[in-house]
Structure 1
Amino acid sequence: RRRPGPPPRAGRPGPPPVPGPRTADPRDLLAVRRLTHAATHSAALLITEAAALADGWAVLVDPVAGPVHSAPPGAGPSGARAAAHPQAHAHLTIHHAAGGTLVLGPGRTTPADRVALIARTAADLLRVRARRADETSRAEQRLHTAVLRLLLAGQHRLAVDVLGGTTATHATVYRLTGHAVPVAHQALWRAARPGVADTRVLVCLEAGELVVLALHDGPAEPAGRHPAHPLVSRVAEQHRLAGSSAAPVPLDLIPAAWAEAGQQPRGPAADRLGSAAGLGAGELLRVIPAERLAAWSAAVLQPLGHDRRRVLECRLRTGSALAAAGALGLSEGTVRSRLRAIEALLVVDLDDATVQARLLLALRAPVSSAPTAPALPGVPSRPPRRPALPTALLSPAEARRWAADVLEPLDARLRIALREWLAHRGRTAPAAAALGVHRSTLTAWLAECGGVLGADLSSATVRTELHLALETAAGPGAAPEALPRRGGRTYG
């Protein structure tokens, strides 16, 4: 048995008293309760509640999408600047949460300890929401991939049913490649938050590519105005992905747009996200009034039903009957047979480059709101052998002005070479023989054309626009014989 120790001497301090439990501030408990209740509804409501409790403003910033939720709405830019340079905004409370950044700007009268509690609680709740979203995102991603494969297989009606009866009728296809595709896929998924309810964008990993389908309610909505476009552009830039986007097409023509967007980018689009949609502000769909273009298109394509128009557009967008057969899920012989029937109905030669350019323009035109297309001066009742642009759409002076604006960056050498190459439907060897230059020389010139025009020459849409511009501006000096030479058999 141990002997008891000596009693404490007088004046010796005893052990410090054990502190009792701290009484929680009822206002803090109320703040936590309000934040938790808001988080069960949405992240946007959580940010709004945090701003109200701090008597200031709050912003959730995504590294790709920028300000995702802000309260009030005008606080978004301030939150983005603070998230990018936190050391320069020491007066703000900044927390990293769920792959993003929570920025809280409190009011002057709010105690610092309460601001810290609000920010910490909101960040923790955002992490919980993100963890719950991760548990369901894999199933949602598999659903997006299944819908994409249905569209590529031509089952667009079934794809719409799987999406829950979306009102979308058209889509823009983006295809991107690079070493960081898996990381970029997750970043874009977090930024876009597509989910499955009221889906407006599909984000998929398919065959090692990052594939995005931006859904539109009609052909009149430009691809660049879709909310997904700036997100895809930023992801491609941040993760150094290369790729291209096709022009908006109906859902039943997704296979054709897939083939168009998957062509190897050239020129300025070789190291970034390029566009296979057209020439930007110089695109004919923007130059010609929509109602006039729709009426002319209805007159030109009047003999064709929906199925034949689909075959024709697929052939013109993919560039060959063989590629169109793969996109349509038909045999090459069947596609060629249907193309011959289309030639007979339209009384045209589909091997003619100018005919191809004008027919693709007619197919891309917006649908007329009138039940029947009104007759226009210069538009015959029966489609001509070469469906020309009538003067009711563009007068000769307007057409020449448009062509001059489009071709302004090109000198005489590049105009002649590009015109001959397009006349040979993009075949380099026969075009080089007609020009009297080597194939490698013509290839270098075409790359130079794409660079100075800022266009992707692998796109069928871009080719048709340039062909129409070159034919409009062609004069006596546009023939191969007028090609400036410096001596020798080739362009020295």
Structure 2
Amino acid sequence: MRAAASSGAGLIAEAAVLADGWAALVDPVFGPVYSHPHAAGPDGVRAAAHPPAHPHLTIRQADDAVFVLGPDTETSAARVALIGQITVDLLHVRAQQADEIRGAEQRLHTAVLHLLRRGHHRLAADVLGGCTATHATVYRLTGRALHTAHQALWRAARPDVSLGDIRTLICLAGAELVVVALHGADGDPGPTGSLIARIAERHRLTGGAASPAALDMFATAWTEAGTARHSTAIGCLTSPTGLRTHGLIHAVPTHRLTAWSAAILQPLDRKQSRTLEAWLRTGSAHAAAGALGVSEGTVRARLRDISNRLAAELDHPTVQAQLLLALRVPASADPATSAARLPDSPVPTELLSPDKAERWASALLAPLDARLRIALRCWLKHRGRTAPAAAELGLHRTTLTTVLRQCGQSLGLDLSSATVRAELHLAVETIATPGDVPAALPRRGGRTYGGPRQ
């Protein structure tokens, strides 16, 4: 009873100790909720799925979950039955208590979400009882079964959403199911992403996720998650970048990334870095002003100052891509002693040698033929603006939109993400040849292809 009053994990651990074996509480859809020892989780899932195949185990239904007890062979059957029955009864009591306070918990989550969206991240941390999280990963989902999905997700994520140690916010915000994973600067939201992906698939929801962002940049992460959701198929969750192991964050050793990022951003203070990141993520001074809560003129004045401090032309697409990469890297524990200039090469040699950079870029862009690669390069050079890119390529805007859709499908990436576009730009410039120009775009004839404008 003392263990049950402490936590569900403590209750399962106590049952395992009393039985001199192992124990697990398993959700039939989402897998192990608690297990002791931790490695017993898979055994519990298999036993819950096929009870007749495991007659030596005690398997009991506990509300919406299944309790599995694997006792020591020398433990008496009567003792095992008693442990199993008492554990299930206590699980029922905990579930009833959780149902009674669920309304208050959910109202708290909604209130904290509103504070984060309005830029009051310190107040949000105070409301959560001094939450030490510095970053958040935002997920936004929509669909017909929102309420059912909300309850299923709340039940599956119960260890991370209960009062006292909230690590995940789960809210219904209008016509959306919103999940916010709170974590540290390492950008690891834990198993939340895979859990939400299963919820989206099971309940036919359309979901988008943002790249991990500092809490004071929550507004830009919110916008990014919404943008990603609009380009997602039903039943799918678009990952923060879609790049996975192909991204530079994973291709470059962490110590190199942090040292390079600290040196590049050394001239900027926190306010300037925040302004630069908002501008790069949103794509315009107007949108950045809304995210930062300042005027557009203030954003432009800050950007001019940032340009002078970095001695860089911020309108250059390669500079933008390199800066966004630097801003995405977790802060270094040892600040840089001196500033560094942005390199002329797309991928800094401090991160990858020219040969390794070319292999990285070639692997990332391997699915694209010359026609798609030239069109994508031109579009990225124009910072994702279709009209000027179509004019330079000599294509109709609708045709270029179709080509870009083919690029996204071939690469399996969401081209609406600023992070994706930045890394694709660095990759396409790394392997560009003198022939990768609009004039060399393969033509298929017809009125659509009138040749590049002079």
Residue of structure 2 in register with 1:471 after alignment: 429
Q: Residue 332 of structure 2 aligns to a residue in which SS?
A: coil
Q: Secondary structure at the match of 2:178?
A: strand
Identify the residue that residue 301 of structure 1 maps to in structure 2: 265
Contact map agreement 1:58 1:72 (CA 8 A) in 2: yes
* CA offsets 1:71-116 (integer angstroms, 9 cap, x no match): 4544322221232234554665433223211234566677767755
TM-score, normalised to structure 1's length?
Answer: 0.82
CA deviation profile, 1:407-435 (whole Å, cap 9, x unmatched): 11111111111111111221222222222
Asked if 2 retains the 8 angstrom alpha-carbon contact of 1:174 and 1:261, the reply is yes
- Is 2:426 the counterpart of 1:462? no
Match for residue 414 of structure 1 among 363, 372, 381: 372
Partner of residue 114, structure 2: 149
Which of 106, 110, 131 is 2:96 aligned to?
131
SS of the residue corresponding to residue 48 of structure 2 reads helix
Q: Which residue of 1 aligns with 2:153?
A: 188
Partner of 1:423: 381
Q: Quick check: 1:338 aligned with 2:296?
A: no
2:209 match: 245
Match of 2:193 in 1: 229
AA matched with 1:432: A
2:245 maps to which of 248, 269, 281: 281
Once the two structures are superposed, residues 353-396 of structure 1 have per-residue CA deviations (whole angstroms, 9 ceiling, x without a partner) of: 22211121121233233333457xxx44xx68x79654333222
Separation of aligned partners in 1, 2:3 and 2:266? 56
Q: Bigger shift: 177-186 or 86-95?
A: 86-95
The 2-side partners of 1:157 and 1:373 are apart by 30
CA distance in 2, matches of 1:58, 1:276: 35
Matched to 2:119, the amino acid is G
Write the deviation string for residues 98-150 of structure 1: whole angstroms up to 9, x where unpaired.
Answer: 32112345666777677555544432321221010111122122212222221
2:323 is aligned with 1:359 = yes
Q: Is the 8 A contact 1:276 1:456 kept in 2?
A: no
Shift of 1:303: 3.0
**Per-residue CA shift, 1:438-482, capped at 9, x if unaligned?**
323222222222222121111100000001111111112211111
User: Which residue matches 1:444?
Assistant: 402
Matched, 1:202 2:196: no
CA distance in 2, matches of 1:487, 1:476: 23
- Amino acid corresponding to residue 105 of structure 2 in structure 1: E
Match of 1:27 in 2: none
Distance 1:85 1:249 in 2: 42
Tell me the distance in 2 between the aligned counterparts of 1:132 and 1:397.
Answer: 60
Could you list the runs of 5+ residues in structure 2 that have no partner in the other structure? Answer: none
Aligned with 1:96: secondary structure?
A: strand
> Is the 8 Å Cα contact of residues 144 and 204 (structure 1) preserved in structure 2?
yes
Q: Residue 53 of structure 1: CA displacement?
A: 5.7
Q: Per the alignment, in what secondary structure is the counterpart of residue 476 of structure 1?
A: coil
2:449 is aligned with 1:482: no
User: Contact conserved, 1:316 with 1:356, CA < 8 A, in 2?
Assistant: yes
Q: Secondary structure at 1:166's aligned position in 2?
A: coil
Compare 102-111 and 338-347 and name the one that shifted more.
102-111
Residue 280 of structure 2 is aligned to residue 316 of structure 1: yes
- Match in the other structure for 1:402: 360
Q: Residue 98 in 1 paired to residue 63 in 2? A: yes
Shift in CA distance, 266/43, structure 1 to aligned 2, threshold 3 Å: closer
User: Counterparts of 2:292 and 2:222 in 1: how far apart (Å)?
Assistant: 11
In structure 1, the partner of 2:219 is 255
Q: Which residue of 2 aligns with 1:43?
A: 8
Does the residue aligned with 2:435 lie in a helix, a strand or coil?
helix
Alpha-carbon spacing, 1:183–1:479, altered in 2? closer, same or farther (3 Å): same
**Residues 386-395 or 141-150, more deviating:** 386-395
- Looking at structure 2, the residues matched to 163 and 387 of structure 1 have their Cα atoms a distance apart, in angstroms, of 45
8 A contact 1:256–1:317 mirrored in 2: yes
- Residues 268 and 366 from structure 1, CA distance in 2 versus in 1: closer, same or farther, beyond 3 angstroms? same
CA separation of 1:476/1:61 partners in 2, compared to 1, >3 Å: closer, same or farther?
Answer: same
Give 1:198's aligned amino acid: D
Structure 1 residues 485 and 49 mapped into 2: Cα distance closer, same or farther (>3 Å)?
A: same
Query: What's the TM-score once normalised by structure 2's chain length?
Result: 0.89
SS at match of 1:337: helix
Secondary structure, counterpart of 2:177 in structure 1: strand
Q: Amino acid of the residue matched to residue 336 of structure 2?
A: T
Q: How many residues align?
A: 448
Cα pair 1:152 1:327 within 8 Å, conserved: no
1:210 is aligned with what amino acid?
A: L
Shift of 1:244: 1.8
Gap change, CA 1:227 and 1:282, over 3 Å in 2: same
Provide the C-alpha distance between the structure 2 equivalents of 1:393 and 1:58, rounded to a whole number of angstroms: 46
Per the TM alignment, residue 264 of structure 1 is displaced from its structure 2 partner at its CA by 4.1
Task: Write the distance in 1 (CA, Å) between the matches of 2:257 and 2:239.
Answer: 23
Rate the CA distance shift 1:343–1:37 in 2: closer, same or farther, 3 A: closer
Does the 8 A contact of 1:54 with 1:115 survive in 2? yes
| CA distance in 2: counterparts of 1:271 and 1:430, whole angstroms | 34
Residue pair 2:208, 2:230 contacting (<8 A) in 1 also: no
Judging changes above 3 Å, is the alpha-carbon distance between structure 1 residues 144 and 407 closer, same or farther for their aligned structure 2 residues?
same
Question: Aligned partners of 2:349, 2:61: CA distance in 1, in Å?
Answer: 60
Question: In structure 1, what is the Cα distance between the partners aligned to 2:306 and 2:345?
Answer: 14
